[in-house]
Structures are given as C-alpha cells and as structure tokens.
Structure 1
C-alpha cells in the first residue's frame, strides 16, 4: 500500500518531451495473467508484469490461497498454478489495498470454490460499492456478508458446486464480466455473459490462450455474447505483458500539449477496446501514429509516436466511454488546452472509481484556472486554445493515482507551478512516472 506520509511535488514547464520511453506492463492484463495462471495446472512464466501496488495485492492474495508466485532475477515471474477448484482457504483477511480490480476479480475466483475469504482495503477502496459484482455472484450460490452497499470489509463463502449463470450486463463493466468468467472456470456447465456494449476483452483473450473452451460472438444490435464451459483444465503458458495504454496516456497528452514535443512510446498494448483515448484525441487534431503493429500473447501491440498538436474541442460520444473509461482524467487535461469547448457525458461510473473522478477533476481544473462545468455524468471544459494554464495552487488527488498524474502533466504547460499534494498513489500503477517524465524533458 502507499506510504502513510503524503509526498507533495511541484510540476512546472521544463521544455519539450523528446526521445523514446517505455511504460510499465498493462495493469489489467497483469492482474489477469496472475489469476488465470493460478487456475492452470503447472508453471507459467510472465514477462513484463506490472509490479505496482495494485498487482502486488493480487499476487499476495493468490499466495495466501496456496498459489506459488515468485520473481526471477531477470525480472520475469513464475506462477505455480493449482488448477481450478484447488484454491485454499486463506488464514487471514486478503488486503486489496487500493485495487478495485483485485477485489472484484478475486471475488469471482473465490465464488466458485468451497472456501471462505474476507476482503479488506484502504480507506478509498472501502468507500467503493461492490454490489454490481456481488449481485450476480450471489446468483451462482456464493454468500456475502459485508457493510451497507456491499462495501469492504466483505466476507465471501464460495458455492460448491456453483450454478451456471446467464447474465446480461446492465452497465458496461469489464470487471464484472471478468469476475463472472473467472467464477465460471470452476462451475459445471456453461456460464454466459451478454454485453450490450462491448468492454475490454483481455480476460477472453487470455482464457483462450490458456486453452479455456470459450466462445465470443456478436449478436443482434451490436451486443456481444461470451460463453465459457467450466471445469476444463487450463494449460500453463509463457506470457509477455505489453505496456499499459492507460499509463502511456499521460505521456501522450503531455507530448500533445507541450510545444516542440516529439515522443515515441514503445511496446504499448493497443487492444481496439482500449484505444478510445487515441481515437478522440485524433478527432481533436492530435498528431498520433501507431507504428510497427504486431501481436504479443494474443494482444495487439504497437509503438506510438506523438507530436505537439493544436487541439480543438469536441463532443465525445457516450458510446466511446467504455474504451477510454480509465483515461478520462488525462483526457480532461487535453481538453483544458484545446480551442473551444469539450463536452462529455455518460460517465457516471467515474464517480465510483478510486475517487469521484468527475468532482475531483472539476475541482482541480478550476483551481488551476480552467473553466470546467460539472454535470451528473460528465464535464464541459472550456480550453485555453493551447496557451499555458494559469496554474498555481495545490491539488488534492484524493488517493487517486490518475488524478495525481493528470495534474502533474498539466503543470508542464502552466504559467505558475502546479503542486500535487500527494504523488504516492502513483505507485499503484506507474512507479517510475516522475523519473520517466524527467528523462523525456531532458531530451
């Protein structure tokens, strides 16, 4: 977990961002690589695993349930999977830190095992509702005992045997979908998830790679149906996790807004269900090229070249939200430098992330001189037309790594330095963020 002592830091203009950079391994894929490797019978090897605090919370929880996980000297990780159905009951509560992904996906794993586990987390995670994943897991037979709103600490007793489920998603959520598919691994029969709006498909891709009998097909009206036949034996794999597009997003926007920047970000995952930010920044006039496209471990990968661009405000369609939901905080920073107004809506999910990201970003933007109007499900932002922001003041990131990094980027093109009152939450996803910025700003 992050240090109890806040780590304040100021960010100010230091020239253009130039050269090449790499970002940490994809957080979403790293979580899933550990969990699905744990459900395989035998030893898997993972290269490029993100070692931020969120993913390490997943690793610690799996170890507590009998899975062997260790780092090699060369930086790769080995996972001795126990196979679906063989998780052990942990002897102590499982601390999820600040990781909602760890909590929701691991609840799915436990839900179809004959064990009980208590999930805890930090103050931020303990405020986040878990009902949207708890409700469908109750339908497979799992029992839950927790605070009002199904908040942490939360105890789950898995079903044995679990019941196969057909679940139509009410709200687009890759975490809920993945939790149900992970529960389905140890459930007899077919688990089916129906998505009216497709969400990131890392779980489906990785389950197929490990040999799970999974089918995904488009249905009527653009909906997507995923069917998993449970109690199949997964085969161990050799994996490489690509760079995280959500981490690259901060460098992409920094290069777009700082005059003279010309940056290449290498080996980034560009799953088409994750590249909504790039699509919308291009609509704004952003000069962004994907080069050397290739496939790594079932995931599309490319290098990303970004050059300083004059951005213009746009209306972001609601259907774009699932493909860039984690990137909206830094997208709001891009909008603050655009010419004219940028309008977003359909983002109610942002109010129950690591923080209320709509409120936090609106408050922070106004504090640094940006006209930002808050709606229940989005923001309207009047941009500077490319001019530096007034800056100044101190931003409270509310224990949210993406809020902290977003305002760090804003400070790179501001008249007065912008202070982020606590940069320690960044350890959850991009441990070397400040050092990476420093290297790029030096050319």
Structure 2
C-alpha cells in the first residue's frame, strides 16, 4: 500500500516514461522469428514484457541483456532462429498478467511442429480467448480451452497445415489481429483481417521493417484491413522503442489537473492508432503541443502539457465514443478520473471492451470514483461522469489492475486528505518506476 496526498504545488519539469509495452513485446517476438540478431534499446523491462522473454527462452531462443560499452544504454539482443527455429518445451508457457503475450504467442504456437500449452495468472484465466480460438480454427489450427470455458489454459496441437483466411473481426482489437497475422506467416495463401476501425498497427509497421509483405488499407468509412502475403523471411534489425503513450497519459492528466503545472514528457510514441487521448483532450481545451516530432518508423515526439481548464460543448457535456475508443482504450480510466475534476458531464460509450481487461474497468472505475465523492454511473458500454464535485481521499481497491493503480494515484493529486493505493505493486506490470517518477514531481 502507498499513501498519497493532494498536490501542494504545481508540477514542473521533464519526464521520461518507459518504453512502449506493445512495441517491446513485438520486438522480442518478431526478433525470435527472424534470421540473425535483433538489437533492442528502450525495451520496457516490466513484468508483462519479461514474461514474453521467458516464453521465448523456453522455446530455445537466446536473449541477452547487456549495456552498450559506448554509452551504457541497456540493450536486449535476440538471437533469432527464423520462422521454423523454435523448439519444443516440456513445460506450460506462463505469461503472467500479459494478454498480449498470451494471444500473440498462441498464433505463433498454432503453426509449430510440436504440441504446447499456455496460461497466465488468475486474471488471464478469466479473459476471453474464443476471439482467437475461432479464427485460428478457421485457419486449420487445433487450439482449445483446457477447461472448456473459452479461457486459458490453452492447449495447442502442433503439426497442423495452416491456410490463409479473410477474417472479419467485429471489434477493433490489435491482439486478435496480430495473433491471426502471426499464424498467417506460416499459412498457405494470403491472410486478411478486417476491422470496423484500424486498431493499433505496431505489428504491421514492425513486421514490414523485418521484411514481411504486409500493409494496411483504410476504407472511406474508416473500416480497415491488414493484408499479409506470406513467404518472405524475417531478418534481424535494430529497434529503438519509443516511450509508451499509455504511461505518458498519467503525467499528461496530472499536468492538466494541478493548477500552474507544466510538464515536458520526452520521446513518446505518437502512432495515430494509439494517441486518441491527445486528440480528445485537445477537443476538451487541453493545452498540449508536440515538439521534436520524428515520423520515421514508429512516430514519436516530446509532449508539452500546461495546466488547462477543460470544457464541454455548448450543452456543458463531452462525449467520447465510436472510432476514438480503440485509439485510447487503455487510457480511458485516466480520462474518467480527469473528467471527474472538470465542470461538465463526460459520456464514455462504445467501450464494453473495458469489461474484459485486467479487471472490469467500468465497474472498478465507477466504484473507486464514487468512493472519492464523484457523481458517476456505469452504463452497459461505458460510464457517465458528472464532473466538478470535490474529491476526497479514500482506500483504492486496484483489483491488481496496473491502470487502476496509476489512474487513482493521479486522482490523489486533486483529492483532499489521504488516498491509499492498495496493491500498489501491480504497477510493475507496465511501469515499475511509476511511483518513483511521480514522487520526484511532488
């Protein structure tokens, strides 16, 4: 447990957030499947990403951690063995709390010439896996839920010949899309994944850099397709991972909440499929500017944020939904907290996906904000926040959800009295140094 108090002065200075979690996962996975070495700097050494490293080590991939002799920068080196270089493991692969590891690894394992099993912690064993079992089965894979409930542990029977499919995913999900595309690397024929809106496209960008024949197409109505032509080998490369915008979101919100604050958050990924929070907050009147923009590969920039009084529209309300949701799904708990401090109503809709994250983030956000004095109500696919009521400190039940812990740590900056974050160690899942970085600004 950690205890926090209301901010007593403006937040000033520079912030460096850890590397992007989604990109860090993929750099290990694709490096393992590539021929030759992949050198990664900026890698996020969090529990989730370390689970990915552990899984590939068990599958016979040598992964080294070292310091560059010239500048002391931590470097991860993956000694790839090509698409067909993984070896059988006698143990069940354990992914901890990482849904990305679980779902993407299953796509890779479905194409291997050996049987395997994969599972995670209690949270992972409750998260829906039929969304990947269905398309993988259509591709010819043999993937099943050990308990028959559509959740992990998953049993994957190897030695199956896969074929490409055209799959229409009803929800924009980068994990589902990436799982199918990774299986598609081994398939006969093209694999196409259609989505109602473009989800995170880190897999497509990185696979293309590794040498895969893959691209996205966006229709006029905003729907999207990821198209993979298999047969091209992957080749090792150098990767510099930008800072994670999901981690940056907490400090963006902190600067907007605490009067007089000015923060510069350096080297943050601004991929358009991920930075919906910047667009939405600017529409709410946030003073946010991008500096030192670099759009080569994964785009990145420094984000300068100044305290701002947010506003709704002419009806004193603001609505977040539709195609904005996939671009900011992980940031919605933080947005809800920020909305609680604003003097208007905020409606978050089309976000039922929040129910099947590390916790039911609709219920947990509503319960904790209510405990802090906010006027908030849950809906079937989101929540309605009647902002402007004074917040007060309380005990925050994180439900072992790292996003909840960090969001309500930021809420403490605007709350009278003491806020206690229970199970604060869950931040290690994505941002081990979060509380240290926050305390440095207070």
> TM over 0.5, yes or no?
yes
Call closer, same or farther: CA 1:13–1:215 in 2, change over 3 Å: closer
d(CA) in 1 for partners of 2:9, 2:370: 24
Which piece of structure 1 moves more, 199-208 or 158-167? 158-167
SS of match in other structure, 2:152: strand
d(CA) in 1 for partners of 2:377, 2:218: 37
d(CA) in 1 for partners of 2:203, 2:115: 24
Q: Which residue matches 1:23?
A: 17
Kindly indicate whether the alpha-carbon contact (under 8 Å) linking 1:9 and 1:422 is maintained by their aligned counterparts in 2: no
Alignment of 1:72-151 (within 5 A): 72-73=66-67, 74-145=73-144, 146-151=146-151
Kindly indicate whether the alpha-carbon contact (under 8 Å) linking 1:112 and 1:161 is maintained by their aligned counterparts in 2: yes
Alignment of 1:225-240 (within 5 A): 225-240=225-240
Unaligned 5+ segments in structure 1 are 1-6
Alignment of 1:330-341 (within 5 A): 330-341=334-345
Q: How many residues align?
A: 431
The alpha-carbon deviation at position 34 of structure 1 amounts to: 0.7
SS of match in other structure, 1:299: coil
The alpha-carbon deviation at position 150 of structure 1 amounts to: 1.7
Q: Which residue matches 2:370?
A: 366
d(CA) in 2 for partners of 1:129, 1:149: 9
The alpha-carbon deviation at position 159 of structure 1 amounts to: 4.8
d(CA) in 1 for partners of 2:147, 2:291: 48
Q: When the two structures are superposed, what TM-score results if normalisation uses the length of structure 2?
A: 0.95
Provide Cα deviations, 1:115-165, integer angstroms capped at 9, x if missing partner: 222112111111111111111111112212322332112211235321111
SS of match in other structure, 1:221: coil
Q: When the two structures are superposed, what TM-score results if normalisation uses the length of structure 1?
A: 0.95
Provide Cα deviations, 1:37-93, integer angstroms capped at 9, x if missing partner: 111011110000000000000110011111111111241100011111221122211
- Residue 435 (str. 1) matches residue 429 (str. 2): no
Q: Which residue matches 1:375?
A: 379
Q: Which residue matches 1:163?
A: 163
Alignment of 1:164-179 (within 5 A): 164-179=164-179
Unaligned 5+ segments in structure 2 are 68-72, 313-317
Give the root-mean-square deviation of aligned CA atoms. Answer: 1.3
Kindly indicate whether the alpha-carbon contact (under 8 Å) linking 1:293 and 1:302 is maintained by their aligned counterparts in 2: yes
Q: Which residue matches 1:57?
A: 51
d(CA) in 2 for partners of 1:328, 1:148: 32
d(CA) in 2 for partners of 1:259, 1:350: 30
Q: Which residue matches 1:283?
A: 283
Kindly indicate whether the alpha-carbon contact (under 8 Å) linking 1:184 and 1:230 is maintained by their aligned counterparts in 2: yes
SS of match in other structure, 1:152: coil
Kindly indicate whether the alpha-carbon contact (under 8 Å) linking 2:129 and 2:150 is maintained by their aligned counterparts in 1: yes
SS of match in other structure, 1:236: coil
Q: Which residue matches 1:4?
A: none
The alpha-carbon deviation at position 15 of structure 1 amounts to: 2.0
Match of 1:69 among 63, 68, 72: 63
d(CA) in 1 for partners of 2:6, 2:344: 24
d(CA) in 1 for partners of 2:220, 2:13: 46
Provide Cα deviations, 1:289-323, integer angstroms capped at 9, x if missing partner: 11110035x11100000011101241113221010
d(CA) in 1 for partners of 2:398, 2:265: 26
Call closer, same or farther: CA 1:364–1:358 in 2, change over 3 Å: same
SS of match in other structure, 1:372: strand
d(CA) in 1 for partners of 2:403, 2:332: 9
The one of the two structures with greater contact order (alpha-carbon pairs below 8 A, sep at least 6) is 1
d(CA) in 2 for partners of 1:187, 1:85: 13
Q: Which residue matches 1:3?
A: none
